[in-house]
Amino acid sequence: MEKFSFLAVAVVGLLIFPAGLAFAASAQLTATSTGPVILGQEVAIELFLDTAGKAVNALSGEVKISFSGDIELQASSDDVTISRIHDGDSIVGAWLVKAKSDDTRRVNFSGIIPGGVTTAHGKIMTLYVVPRYSGVLRLTMTGTTFEHTLLGEAEQLSSNEIAFPVGVFTGAETPALAPEDITPPQDIRAVIYQSEGMFDGQPFIIIHAKDAESGIATYELLETGERYPDETLKNDRGLTWRLIDNLAPLVSSANSGYIYVRVTDREGNASVVEVNRPVQLSPENGQSLFNKWLISFILIVAAGLFLLLWGRKRKRHAQ
């Protein structure tokens, strides 16, 4: 089903944002460090996408991390630590699977690139790692892109392994790392919509937020009959916040009580907004940015259902 979702995204992307076709060698993920990988110190390793001349609008990837020490060591999760991940400057506009730092051996991610992109050096994210021993740190990168064409064909990325020597490097200049992100997400807009064709006609919410530094971590929704001050909404974890995906149905009536959205970035900074009351009750009305998102989502669902039915029909004919 994940494949159908990506194919649907590719079809919708072409319909809304036309792009020319290009043909070249296989695409791949690449990685560079911002300086020498020094034993015991945090270093930034940036991941990039090379589309090899093709326009793509969806990406899934996996980074496997391995380590070989100068002395004989058993493989251990203590060899290297992923201290943090930043994706605020990524070309990926909407994450379907966000990269997490809790597994020091594997990082998985997938997302949508709105409008498609052709790039030789498109920033995906930055991994901040701390090696515990001297030796060689290896990143093996694989994945799949989906072409920005009508068929949205999937293409496997060429496997790419990059090795980073880890040592003391006497006299080496320590690179300046990105400072801790202390700025909460900005430009948050959240609007309630309603359409008979989505969520069984139940009102739902669409959120747009940007965090240019560490990137968005979570969206939370609070539906309540009481008004709260901003500081309480930002910091009080005792309230009945509901962790949601972007595009989420409401539990209560859109016109009763108060509805708040809290957006938190990867470094724990949070911003809260009160949600506007419904501005439209069908995808045909209005010309706002959210109207385009709504139409895109409906087209994605329709395209996904079409591809699913088409695949089943072909399977029946083949039997």
- pTM across the whole model: 0.71
Of 313, 197, 205, 190, the residue nearest 252 (C-alpha)? 205
Average the pLDDT over 175-199 and give the result: 83
CATH classification of 186-301, choosing from 3.40.430.10, 2.60.40.10, 1.10.1140.10, 2.102.10.10? 2.60.40.10
Q: Where in the chain is the domain with CATH 2.60.40.10?
A: 186-301
| Higher-scoring residue by pLDDT: 225, 139 | 139
Average pLDDT of the chain to the nearest whole number: 78
CATH T-level topology, domain 2-167: Immunoglobulin-like (2.60.40)
Residue 302 has pLDDT above 60, yes or no: no
Q: Mean pLDDT highest for which of 34-38, 123-127, 311-315?
A: 123-127
Q: Where in the chain is the domain with CATH 2.60.40.680?
A: 2-167
Q: Please report the beta strands in the chain, taking only residues with DSSP state E, as ranges in sequence order.
A: 28-33, 37-38, 43-50, 56-69, 80-86, 94-97, 106-117, 122-131, 135-147, 154-156, 160-167, 186-193, 204-210, 216-224, 242-244, 248-249, 258-265, 270-274, 276-280
| Higher-scoring residue by pLDDT: 223, 237 | 223
**Are the C-beta atoms of residues 218 and 243 closer than 8 Å to each other?**
yes
Residue 265 has pLDDT above 80, yes or no: yes
pLDDT at residue 262, as a whole number: 93
Joined tokens for residue 203: 């009102």
pLDDT at residue 162, as a whole number: 96
The 3-state DSSP class for residue 3 equals helix
Which backbone phi and psi does 287 adopt, to 5 degrees? Answer: -125, 20
pLDDT at residue 94, as a whole number: 85
Give 68-120 pLDDT, tens digit per residue: 876 554 445 568 889 999 999 999 988 889 999 888 889 999 999 988 999 99
